Amino acid sequence: MVTTIPQTPNIPIQSVLIVGNYCHDVLLQGGAVVAETLGGAASFISNVLTGLSVSFHLTSKVGVDFKYPVNHDPIVVPTSKTTVFHAYFDQGYSENAHQDRVLKRVEVCDPINPSDLPDRKFDFGMAVGVGGEILPETLERMVEICDAVFVDIQALIRAFDENGTVKLVRLKESGFYHLLPRLKFLKASSDEALFMEVEEVRLWCCVVVTHGKDGCEVYWKDGEMKIAPFGANQIDPTGAGDSFLGGFVGGLVHGLVVPDAALVGNFFGSLTVAHIGLPKFDLRLLQRIKEEVQTRKVQGTCWLERRDDEVSFTKPAGHDEFHASLSSSKLVSAECRRDLSRSPGSVEQVNRPQYKGQQKFLLNSVYDKSN
């Protein structure tokens, strides 16, 4: 079935396709539940893209037990449950998965099939599965309908033992390796990057490795660069890499070159770690960021039309100033929040456009390191 997109000034064309299931995330410490929240990379990415006023189509599957109101309805599978992850923050290092937590998949929804994807073209595609829902044939279909496909490596290399604990396999053994030459970007955390040969993969597609508080690195066939981080008060690392990818793609959609778009990615990653679960974004901060991005974008030429690596990957003049402007916006926003918190008539200052009914249960959380 072909979807017709109205071509009117008030309805932006959906330039991005996000593919990945929503999840129910449960955070535990000391055997007790400290938070329950909407999860899945798709939830964090769509939250960022909405904040950046980027229109998108989201393909996601859930079960009949899905409990969070969302603005982009998923496909409800009547015979399945929603994917559920339990994150244990006090069980130490889990072999080859996450150093900061042990992650277990306790329920799993159906995979996303090629036939579940819309029958239309997109500028950008994002394969961001977290529970094994992205199939090789689904990714191949995304390559066919999207001009540029961005993949989070966790969608490719995650495996699960008999208890549901997340393990990682080598990228060459994942069943997706043959598709690398058809991808534009592959994003991985520094831990996940150990499961691929970066020097080899960069010959096929661009690789972005995130380093948390140390920013990120971008590798392409002819070079590499480091992108500076932003200061953050980390409370919960969940979703930081997803928000990075959302900010990165959002920057490219708005016309930024790769180094500047990676700064936007780092910026949203730093915002996300300061929250438990899906972050709340300050409305005025979002407006300032969009103004900064519009000022920085390359006039008259979108990123997809600049296929020359030398142009797309070279840090443009004013890159450091752009970083400083984003940092300044963050500081101003923090000061405004402090001022509002002292005012008895403070107004609502955050936006959660995608997940209006998100529930949180915070009981003596040990993740707040602000003191």
For the annotated catalytic residues, the residue numbers are 242
Taking the C-alpha atoms of residue 191 and residue 294, their distance in angstroms, rounded to an integer, is 34
Q: Give CA 52 to chain center in angstroms.
A: 13
Its sign, for the CA torsion 8, 284, 23, 65, is: negative
Residue 119 φ/ψ, nearest 5 degrees = -90, 75
Its sign, for the CA torsion 250, 252, 254, 257, is: positive
Alpha-carbon radius of gyration of the chain: 20
